[in-house]
Chains A and B, each alone.
Chain A
Amino acid sequence: MFRFTRTSPSAMTSPRRRRAAGIAAGATVAALALAGCGTSGGGDVDPADANGWSQEFAGVELNVLAEATLNSEILAELSPEFTKMTGISVNIETAPFAQLVQSVTLDFSTAQGDFDVVSIPYDYLGAYAGSDYLEEITPLIAANADKVGEGFDQEDIIPGLWDTAALWDGAYYGMPSNSAVTMMIYRADVFEDEAEQEAFAAEYGYDLAPATTWEQYRDIAEFFTRDAGEELAGETLTEPLYGVTIAGKRHEAAVFEWINYANSFGGGVVSPEGELIVDSPGSVESLEYMDALGEFAPPGYTSATWDEVTAQLQQGIAVQAISWGDTAGAMENPDQSAVVGKMGYGDVPVAAEGDEHHALHGAWTYTISKQATDADAAYLFVAWALSAPVQKAIGEMGGVPATRSAFEDPELVAALPSWPQQLSSLENALARPRNAEWPQMLEQLALQVSTALVGEATPEAALTKAQDDITGILGDKLPLRAF
Chain B
Amino acid sequence: MQAPSLLILLVVLAFPLVYSLSLSFQSYSPVDPEAQGQWIGLDNYVRMLQDTQFGQAILVTLAYVVLAVALETVLGTAIGVWLSRLMRTRRLVTSFLLLPMIATPLVVGLMFSFGLNAQFGYMTETLQWLGLVGEAGVLDSPAGAFAALVAMDVWEWTPFIALMVLAGLSAAPQAQIQAAQMDGCNTFQLYWHVMLPMIKPVIGVAILFRATEAIRQFDQVYILTGGGPGSATTVNDIFQYRVSFTAFDMSYGAALGIATFLVVSVLAWVLFRYLNRKGEQR
- Chain A residues in contact with chain B, CB under 8 A? 1, 19, 21-23, 25-27, 30, 98, 102, 105-106, 108-109, 124, 127-128, 130-132, 249-251, 298-300, 302-303, 312, 317, 436-437, 439-440, 443, 446-447, 450-451, 453-454, 456-457, 469
Within 8 Å by CB of A105, from B23, B30, B134, B135, lies B30
Interface string of B210-237 (1 = CB under 8 A from A): 0000000000000001111111100000
* Residue in chain B with minimal CB distance to A447: B231
A299 to B37, CA, bound (A): 47
Q: Kindly count the residue-residue contacts between A and B in the assembled complex, taking CB atoms under 8 Å apart.
A: 126
Which residues 72-128 of B sit at the A interface, judged by CB distance below 8 A?
Answer: 104, 106, 117-119
Q: Which of A26, A102, A457 is the most central at the interface, judged by chain B CB atoms within 10 Å of its CB?
A: A26
A251 to B229, CA, bound (A): 10
Are A440 and B247 also in contact (CB < 8 A) when A105-B30, A454-B140, A454-B142 are?
A: yes
- From DSSP, what is the main secondary structure of chain B's interface residues? loop
Residues of B in contact (CB 8 Å), total: 44
Q: Which of B225, B232, B248, B250 is the most central at the interface, judged by chain A CB atoms within 10 Å of its CB?
A: B248
A443 to B53, CA, bound (A): 11
Within 8 Å by CB of A22, from B19, B106, B226, B241, lies B19
* Residue in chain A with minimal CB distance to B128: A299
Within 8 Å by CB of B142, from A299, A456, A469, lies A456
Contact across chains for B248 and A105 when beta carbons are under 8 A apart: yes
The 4 A-B residue pairs with the shortest CB-CB distance in the complex, in nearest-first order: A300-B118, A250-B228, A109-B30, A127-B31
Contact across chains for B30 and A436 when beta carbons are under 8 A apart: no
Which residues 22-63 of B sit at the A interface, judged by CB distance below 8 A?
Answer: 23, 28-33, 37, 53
A402 to B201, CA, bound (A): 65
Contact across chains for B33 and A250 when beta carbons are under 8 A apart: no
CB neighbours (8 Å) of A302 from chain B are: 136, 139-140, 228-229
Contact across chains for A450 and B228 when beta carbons are under 8 A apart: yes
- Chain B residues in contact with chain A, CB under 8 A? 15-16, 19-20, 23, 28-33, 37, 53, 104, 106, 117-119, 134-137, 139-142, 145, 225-232, 241-242, 244-250
Contact across chains for B31 and A131 when beta carbons are under 8 A apart: yes
Contact across chains for B119 and A298 when beta carbons are under 8 A apart: yes
Q: Tell me the smallest distance from the CB of B58 to a CB of chain A, in Å.
A: 16
Contact across chains for B246 and A443 when beta carbons are under 8 A apart: yes
CB neighbours (8 Å) of B142 from chain A are: 454, 456
Contact across chains for B30 and A23 when beta carbons are under 8 A apart: yes
Are A250 and B136 also in contact (CB < 8 A) when A127-B31, A132-B33 are?
A: no
A98 to B242, CA, bound (A): 11
